[in-house]
Copies of this chain bind each other. A is one copy, B any other.
Amino acid sequence: MEQDRIDAGPAGLRPGADTPAALETRRRIVETAERLFRQFGYQKTTVADIAAELSMSPANVYRFFASKSSITEAVARLLTGEIEEVAHAAATQPGLSARERLLGVIRATYRATVQRYIKDQRMHAMVHAAIDENWEVVKAHKAVILGILTELIREGIAAGEFRVEGDPAVAARCVQMANIATCHPLIIEHCLRANEDLEEMIDPMVAFCCRGLGAQG
């Protein structure tokens, strides 16, 4: 759509929309949208609702976001960014071995995902839409998590904890794929609905991955 094209680009900004005041307004729109999505559901929330909540006209919201879909994308970025922060904090926790930090990353990501997307039934529709419509956000999120895992594995190799032949980035991709079940909202949702306990698999899976990374013991 023409409107969506205007709002495209990595920063998702329209030309001239990057003044501090404009960025602040965008931030408020996105945070308000997220709150309304949680409160009333993604489908039922309209741009007019978001505008009303901010005492703005819908036309003013459209000055910052070309469509509801652009707002949804920004909400998806906000949520994936929060998960990335949680993962990064666990990956760089001081005083822990690479193995312990890997366990921390997987556990923290799982819990943050469950808390943000799964426990809140009203967020399911938004997550499905985000995954179905916003490939770029999902792709960027996976790349950030892959970067965090690659760095952690490099540190583990440097510390003599891991012995990886070949590219650490490929090993990181294996670790990331191996743990999809506990970080992909749709898989988590399916497993929980099927009464499968995913959390009990985190410890054995991380131990398995560490052996895959050449850790001894």
A residues adjacent to B (C-beta < 8 A): 131, 135, 138-139, 166, 170-171, 173-174, 177-181, 184, 186-187, 190, 193-194, 201, 204-205, 208-209, 211-214
Contact = CB atoms under 8 A, between A and B. Distances in A.
A181 B182 CA distance: 12
B208 A139 contact: no
B205 A177 contact: yes
Contact of A135 (B135, B138, B194, B212): B194
A146 to B, nearest CB: 12
Chain A interface main SS type: helix
A208 B168 CA distance: 12
15 contacts: A131-B190, A139-B194, A170-B204, A174-B178, A174-B201, A174-B205, A174-B208, A177-B178, A177-B181, A177-B201, A177-B205, A178-B205, A178-B209, A208-B209, A211-B212
